[in-house]
Amino acid sequence: MCKVHSIALNETVEVDRVLDHLQGESRGPTLVFFGGIHGNEPAGVFALKQVFQEIRSQNVPIHGEVYAITGNLGALAKSLRYQQEDLNRIWFPERISSVMDKDVVQHQEEDELKHLYILLQEILENGKPPFYFLDLHTTSSDTIPFMVMNDSLLNRKYASHYPLPIILGIEEYLEGALLSYINELGYVSLGFESGQHNDGKAIQNCVAFIRYSMALTETILASFEEREKLRKAILGEGEESHKFYEIYHQHLIGPNNRFKMLPGFVNFQNIPKGKSIAVENGIELKTLKGRQIFMPLYQNQGNEGFYFIRPIPKFLLWLSKELRRFKVDHLLVKLPGVQWKSKDKDTLMVDQRVARFFAKSFLHLLGYRARKFDATHLVAKNRERASKTKQYKSTEWYNI
């Protein structure tokens, strides 16, 4: 139990790990919302509390069950992104096993992970498929609402029903995220960024996202007209911008570097060549070409200074779908220097001497996100094989 304060609402509430849980009498999906994985992002917590209270007070019928889970309780109580370590950067299978084997954890975030992991396992064991995991976040800079997700066709198909910009490829730059861990288990999982941390609109956008997600997953039954009204409400005051983008550059801040983002930059802003965007160790960082900036850092905690993104043409989205459908990646292992990392056939190991002839964009089309493994090999991971697509094939959204 902890107290969470919202600057936007000038309100404090007391919350527990399970903020709320609604169990319907009729069969339906298991829908899980996370709020406050970062402790300086309380908008999702307040939005979940509002929506669940509305459902209870109005006796709205639930199909299946819905969870509202609070993330980093300790950091939320102190309005910090994290206390010792970013809770959304430590979800590695080896790290989880290590934490679960310990009688005494190293620090607060490991304790948070331990409790969240136990709860997640209980939900997966006792809940009924299909499962949906939606993580509610906000950003340090001003932004229109958008979604981030790991690049699987299942995630893409589900996300395409939201009238929002969708960012692919975050897993190639951001390791150890909760949703990446869940997506590797094969379930629909994505993040929603609703606005700036302390902006009241971020809470409103979150509320609209939660309501629409319940209707889309048929947790709450709604007519087509009602669903469209909920869908449009997600946009708030913005305009519909349903495009897919990919991240192609990340500016990481070194442990001893002094980084300061220059003021005035917002998500999705187009920046001309030669524009100063940040200062690091006293040196101005300027764009070498025209860029589109993503998630500029305007807070003290965090190692990612900013990203550059670009739109993905619809033709490439279609092509990647077809290449994955016909499992073209299985032909790559016939090439010298390319092999499967394990019998699961979801990870390629590419000799560095061969990798230089592979355009990274080609691996992306096949669903692989690449990381350097060691001095001799590149490792590229694919999540298509893990996707539990069969669980979702009978849903209305999947068949539209």
Element (H, E) at 129: none
CATH node for 245-311 = 2.40.50
Question: H or E segment at 378?
Answer: strand 377-382
pLDDT of residue 237: 58
Residues of the chain with CATH 2.40.50: 245-311
Share of residues in the chain with pLDDT > 70 (%): 98
370 or 22, which is more confident? 22
Does the pLDDT of residue 356 top 80, yes or no? no
Residue 240 predicted with pLDDT over 60? no
User: What's the average model confidence in pLDDT over 199-223?
Assistant: 95
The Cα 267–Cα 145 span in angstroms is 10
Spatial distance between the Cα atoms of 262 and 393, rounded to a whole number of angstroms: 47
The pLDDT of residue 236 is 63
Predicted confidence at residue 235, as pLDDT, reads 75
CA–CA separation, 350 and 169 (whole Å): 19
How confident is the model over 59-82, as a mean pLDDT?
Answer: 96
Rounded to 5°, the CA angle 40-41-45 comes to 125
pLDDT in tens, 286-327: 999 999 999 999 998 888 999 999 999 999 999 999 999 999
CATH for 2-242, options being 3.40.50.2300, 1.20.1250.20, 3.20.20.70, 3.40.630.10: 3.40.630.10
| Tokens at 229, concatenated | 């009204």
Q: ∠178-184-190 over CA atoms, to 5°?
A: 50
Instruction: Tell me the C-alpha distance between 61 and 51, whole Å.
Output: 14
Query: For residue 243, is pLDDT > 70?
Result: yes
Mean pLDDT computed over every residue of the chain = 92
Task: Decide which of 247 and 360 is more confident.
Answer: 247
The answer to whether residues 43 and 203 touch, using CB atoms and an 8 Å cutoff, is yes
Q: How far apart are CA 152 and CA 185, in angstroms?
A: 12
> What integer pLDDT is reported at residue 255 of this predicted model?
87
Query: Tens digit of pLDDT for each residue in 157-177?
Result: 999 999 999 999 888 888 899
The β-bridge relationship of strands 304-311 and 244-252 is antiparallel
pLDDT band at 129; cut points 50, 70, 90? very high
Measured CA to CA, the distance from residue 393 to residue 140 in angstroms comes to 37
Return the pLDDT at 174: 85
- Give the pLDDT of residue 38: 97
Q: Where in the chain is the domain with CATH 3.40.630.10?
A: 2-242
Confidence of residue 239 (pLDDT cuts 50, 70, 90): low
Check residue 238 and give its pLDDT: 58
Q: Mind listing the pLDDT tens digit for each residue in 82-126?
A: 999 999 999 999 999 999 988 778 889 999 999 999 999 999 999
| Closest of 351, 400, 350, 358 to residue 380, by C-alpha | 350
| Residue the block writes with tokens 């619809």 | 314
pLDDT at 352: 83
Contacts of 32 (CB under 8 A, 6+ apart): 66, 67, 69, 123, 131, 132, 133, 134
Tell whether the model's pLDDT for residue 136 goes beyond 90: yes
Q: What is the mean pLDDT of residues 170-194?
A: 93
Tens of pLDDT, residue by residue over 15-58, are 999 999 999 988 999 999 999 999 999 999 999 999 999 999 99
Query: What number is the average pLDDT over the span 65-92?
Result: 96
Nearest Cα neighbor of 294 from 313, 276, 317, 270 is 270
pLDDT of residue 134 exceeding 90:
yes
Q: What is the pLDDT of residue 3?
A: 94
Average of per-residue pLDDT across 262-283: 94
